[in-house]
Amino acid sequence: MCSWQAGSAFSQTETNGSRDEFRIVIHCGINVLQLWRKNEAIREYPIETGKGGLGKQRGGDHCTPVGDYEISWMASRNSTKGYRIVENRSWCKGNKFIYADSGPSLEKLWAESYGGDEATVISINYPSVKDRLRGFTGDCIHIHADKKLKDGMLTKSYGCIHMFPKDAMELYEMVEVGTPVKILP
């Protein structure tokens, strides 16, 4: 794993409490998500990103955003932490977790594309204030489990960060709302 160095993905002045003990750094160019604890990368996971590439600017562009974010909410079928994903009742709408009889067709949090019976969703606050000031739009960008594999490999997303279900659950149990997320090209 890596060790913390000056000038790396997060500056050491960004720590402001226990929620910042962990940081997520996503390296889109090499399809790796790292979990950092203080000054050390303690986990690395394979990922897949948006089929539209990087640099999300508008809803529906299928791009993964690049920049500084944080975890805004979390939901799972199998954890007691965060919101509980329920079949036919759990959706993302307008960057919020909702329980409802219907919602956006691509945001069925119980679906195979979110991990199915292992559904695990870590939502980030895209678009951030900085993104909105730049005119960027869109919502419901997550780090989440994906069971829609091709030849055993993760598939491209509509802008989210896909992970294998086991990896997504391990990450989910170690982070919390407010954990910083840096997405790099």
pLDDT tens digits, one per residue of 48-80: 999 999 999 999 999 999 999 999 999 999 999
H-helix or E-strand spanning residue 184: strand 180-184
Residue with tokens 């959706």: 91
pLDDT tens readout for residues 145-154? 999 999 999 9
CATH 2.40.440.10 fits 21-184, yes or no: yes
Reference 87, options 107, 116, 120, 122; nearest CA is: 116
- The residues near 101 (Cβ < 8 Å, ≥ 6 apart) are 88, 89
- Report the catalytic residues: 144, 160
